[in-house]
Amino acid sequence: MKNLFYLLIAVFTLSLTSCSSDDSSTNNDDELYVRFTLNGEQKEYMDPATITSLRRLILGDDMESAEYERISLWMPVVIETGTFTITSDTPTDANLETLYSANIWMGEEVIDASTGTLVITDLDAEYVKGTFSFSGTNDEGTTVVVTNGTFRAYR
């Protein structure tokens, strides 16, 4: 009977050590990031800044590369989950509460998105999370196509 008791304790202990929470590095629920594909090249900016004034800006950048790179995702101050159209409209008093826009900085060039989509998938008191894609061409003729965009930032 004593052996059976020790066997049960051993099995119970083994089962507890076999179970673990998901501590793998693929669980990124606490990371802040902006990730996307720019003209076929993967980009990832960690710890994006969120700046709020008349509009909300989620700003991802790479100040350490040889050529300064930055992505700006603009949205209204008051946000909600849903799918929104990215346009190249100029911000005015009339559209500040509805305008979604984006741009890419590559060195000295700035390319504003002319068309695209921004989807806010998760929103809580502290964080905003979503997806995006857009394209645009600047006055110098530089075209960007941004696909597979995902972000998680402070609200």
107-150 pLDDT per residue, tens = 899 999 999 999 999 999 999 999 999 999 999 999 999 999 99
In terms of residues, how long is the chain? Answer: 155
In-domain check, residue 120: yes
> 3-class SS at 33?
strand
Give this prediction's pTM.
0.80
In-domain check, residue 72: yes
* Count: domains in the chain: 1
**Residues 6 or more apart in contact with residue 155 via CB below 8 angstroms:** 50, 79, 123, 124, 125, 126, 127, 128
Residue 71 near residue 59, CB atoms below 8 Å: yes
Domain that holds residue 120: 44-154
In-domain check, residue 39: no
- Mean pLDDT across the stretch 66-91? 96
pLDDT given for residue 11 in this prediction: 41
In-domain check, residue 22: no
Q: Rounded to an integer, what distance in angstroms lies between the CA atom of residue 27 and that of residue 21?
A: 11
Q: Rounded to an integer, what distance in angstroms lies between the CA atom of residue 77 and that of residue 55?
A: 5
26-48 pLDDT per residue, tens = 445 789 999 999 999 999 999 99
In-domain check, residue 31: no
In-domain check, residue 1: no
Q: Rounded to an integer, what distance in angstroms lies between the CA atom of residue 26 and that of residue 23?
A: 8
Run of H or E residues at 144: strand 143-154
Residue 59 near residue 49, CB atoms below 8 Å: yes
